[in-house]
């Protein structure tokens, strides 16, 4: 009887070892996202009183790669150019999905001047605070998935240009999913950016 119990214990332990959760089974490797061009200024746009400033803003938006995250599908290599800068239904995990089965996920917001789903109701100061300080419209600091610390030293003129450009875009109604806190299951696809180092 003792021999049989010992055998069963070893068999159960061996089975447990072979059924260990492998987080890589839930993910596929994606190529690095590419920096996308910024959409052209709207033809005949009257929203921007200073077209030269808006053109400078377009250059900066393209240079810092806003469309890569804020365009639907761009994070997985399939951008929807009808929703250029109108937010993404593909999110970005901000906690480690290789450690936690359900990481926290942020969905990049709609940067077009749509009044309901975009920045149409935002003031210039609120847009600048979001770019330069990572502060949302309601005063909450965002998780640093958007690299706002890298934009902290943008000049006032550069910020004015980005705001002028974003406000000159055609408004696109496109609501993105709500952000998902760690531990909750995301209902939409997401990617994970991370840097790892070896233990040696």
The confidence band for 13, taking pLDDT boundaries of 50, 70 and 90, is very low
Are the C-beta atoms of residues 100 and 77 closer than 8 Å to each other?
no
pLDDT for residue 95: 86
pLDDT computed for residue 32 by the predictor = 59
Residue 16 pLDDT > 90, yes or no? no
Say what the pTM is: 0.77
Q: What is the structure's pLDDT at 22?
A: 58
What pLDDT is attached to residue 97? Answer: 80
In this predicted structure, what is the pLDDT of residue 11? 39
pLDDT score for 120: 96
Phi and psi at 105, nearest 5°, equal: -135, 135
Are the C-beta atoms of residues 73 and 93 closer than 8 Å to each other?
no
**pLDDT tens per residue, range 136-193:** 766 667 666 788 888 989 999 999 999 999 999 999 999 999 999 999 999 999 988 7
Q: How far is CA 81 from CA 14, 43, 62, 68, 75, in A?
A: 51, 17, 14, 11, 13
Report the alpha-carbon distance of residue 27 to residue 98 in Å, rounded.
Answer: 9
* Average of per-residue pLDDT values in the chain: 80
Instruction: Give the start-to-end residue ranges of the domains of the chain.
Output: 26-192
Least confident of 28-37, 105-114, 125-134, 158-167: 28-37
Residue that wins the pLDDT comparison between 198 and 84: 84
32-52 b/e (C-beta count within 10 Å ≥ 16 → b): ebeebebbebeeeeeebeeee
Which 3 state secondary structure label does DSSP give 163?
helix
55: left (phi over 0), alpha (psi -120 to 50) or beta: alpha
Q: Kindly report, residue by residue over 29-71, the tens digit of the pLDDT.
A: 565 566 666 777 664 444 556 889 999 999 999 999 999 999 9
Tally of CA atoms within 13 A in the half-sphere of 195 that contains its CB:
0
Helix-, strand-, coil-residue percentages of the chain, each rounded to 5: 35, 5, 60
Residue 199: what pLDDT?
A: 60
**pLDDT-derived band of residue 27, with 50, 70 and 90 as boundaries?**
low
- Is 126 or 49 the better-scoring residue by pLDDT? 126
């Amino acid at each position: 009887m003792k021999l049989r119990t010992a055998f069963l214990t070893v068999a159960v332990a061996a089975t447990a070892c072979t059924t260990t959760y492998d987080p890589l089974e839930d993910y596929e490797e994606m190529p690095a996202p590419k920096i996308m061009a910024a959409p052209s200024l709207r033809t005949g746009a009257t929203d921007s009183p200073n077209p030269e400033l808006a053109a400078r803003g377009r250059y900066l938006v393209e240079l810092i790669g806003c469309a890569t995250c804020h365009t639907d599908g761009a994070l997985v290599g399939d951008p929807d150019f009808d929703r250029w800068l109108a937010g993404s239904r593909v999110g970005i995990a901000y906690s480690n999905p290789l450690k936690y089965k359900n990481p926290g996920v942020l969905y990049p917001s709609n940067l077009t001047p749509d009044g309901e789903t975009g920045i149409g109701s935002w003031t210039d100061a609120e847009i600048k605070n979001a770019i330069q300080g990572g502060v949302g419209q309601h005063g909450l600091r965002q998780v640093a998935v958007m690299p706002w610390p890298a934009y902290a030293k943008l000049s006032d003129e550069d910020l004015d240009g980005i705001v002028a450009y974003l406000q000159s875009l055609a408004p696109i109604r496109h609501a993105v999913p709500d952000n998902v806190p760690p531990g909750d299951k995301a209902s939409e696809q997401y990617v994970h950016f991370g840097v790892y180092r070896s233990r040696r």
